[in-house]
Chain A
Amino acid sequence: MRPPSLLCLLVPLLLLALGLSLGWALGDGLKGYSGERLAEVALELVPESGATHPVTSVLLNFRGYDTLLELAVLLTALLGIWSLGPAAPPYPPPGLVLASLVGWVVPLLIITGGYLLWVGAYAPGGAFQAGAMLGAAGVTLTLAGHPTGGLPAEPWQRLLAALGTLVFLLMGLGLMALGSGFLIYPKGIAKWLILIIEATATLSIGVTLIAAFLGGRPMSLRNRSR
């Protein structure tokens, strides 16, 4: 069904007008504000956060609650995908060139992921980037005909996908039970808590991305052998 042509003419005009006013609004906002926004406050407190890279401090500590809910969003998407039906049939087995290439690329991707996770503490990197690398490794495997993209059986997939959110939440609740307050990390061990959260979140993000790419509920072993 094609939209009527009047709409085709009207929409660009309206968008143009909207664009001009938004540009004006943006310019006015940028010029009108002389302060440093939150940058100065955040950068000043980075040494106290347990991470040295400011973006990691914001994601895992200052605004950790956002990240917790973000991991829940990722889990929601996966559960939604699983609810729709079983995964797509696997890709055909690869030719010789692809198979040997995969043997090279996948370990490289996993190592890069580990590096990005580690480097995130003091340079650009961190859980999401590392998880994306793991996801890419799994997608590569899937494209080369591996039926589950290297993922284990369903119960383990469930555990791995929920792990990041679970560890993050239990840590928040545990700190609250110990008298510190929800998601308030004690100064001395903040660094280690952040590392644990990041490592589990990396696993969860990687597994979720692979499972989402497979596009459906994991098939049980019985079905797979058929």
Chain B
Amino acid sequence: MNPEILITQMLYGCIGLALFLLGIGSFILHEGLWRRLIALNVVGSGVFHVLVAVAYRGLEQTPDPIPHALVLTGIVVAVSATALALAFGRHLEDQNDHA
């Protein structure tokens, strides 16, 4: 395989892995809801980053469309989950205010 492609995939893939791990670490170590939710979104970005990196096949070639589609699906799912979690959090805070 072309070394240029391999190095590019590896570089961006490892950045994705780093994001994944940073997010996981933050998720484990911190308590607050907002912080953990942002950490989870960083985790998701890391995984999507890896998938996008894999899709790269050199500048002249069309990238692999499958991982791109997976990332789009994954983003929608992640947005939905984040929205639901935010609504849960807001509801808890409202209850706190009233209590």
Contact = CB atoms under 8 A, between A and B. Distances in A.
- The answer to whether A and B assemble together is yes
Interface of A: 1, 3, 7-8, 11-12, 15, 18-19, 22-23, 26-27, 30-31, 34, 36-39, 42-43, 46, 54-55, 57-59, 62-63, 66-67, 70, 73-74, 76-78, 80-81, 84-85, 88, 126, 128, 205, 209, 212-213, 215-216
A77 B88 CA distance: 11
B53 to A, nearest CB: 9
Contact of A58 (B25, B31, B65, B86): B65
Nearest to B28: A11
B64 interface: yes
A215 B90 contact: yes
Contacts of B76: 70, 73-74, 128, 205
B9 A30 contact: yes
B1 A31 contact: yes
Contacts, number: 120
B80 A63 contact: no
B84 to A, nearest CB: 4
- Max count, chain B CB within 10 A of own CB: residue among A30, A36, A74: A30
Interface string B56-87: 01000011111011101101110111011011
B10 interface: yes
Given A8-B29, A80-B87, A19 B66 contact: no
Contacts of B25: 11-12, 15
Given A26-B50, A88-B90, A215-B90, A42 B65 contact: yes
14 contacts: A1-B31, A3-B29, A7-B29, A26-B14, A34-B1, A37-B64, A43-B65, A54-B65, A57-B65, A58-B65, A59-B73, A73-B81, A209-B79, A213-B83
Nearest to B90: A215
B91 interface: yes
B90 A55 contact: no
Given A57-B65, A70-B77, A77-B84, A85 B91 contact: yes
B17 A84 contact: no
A157 B54 CA distance: 39
B37 interface: no
B13 A30 contact: yes
Contacts of B94: 85
Interface in B10-57: 10, 13-14, 17-18, 20-21, 24-25, 28-29, 31, 50, 54-55, 57
A42 B61 CA distance: 13
Contact of B87 (A58, A73, A74, A84): A84
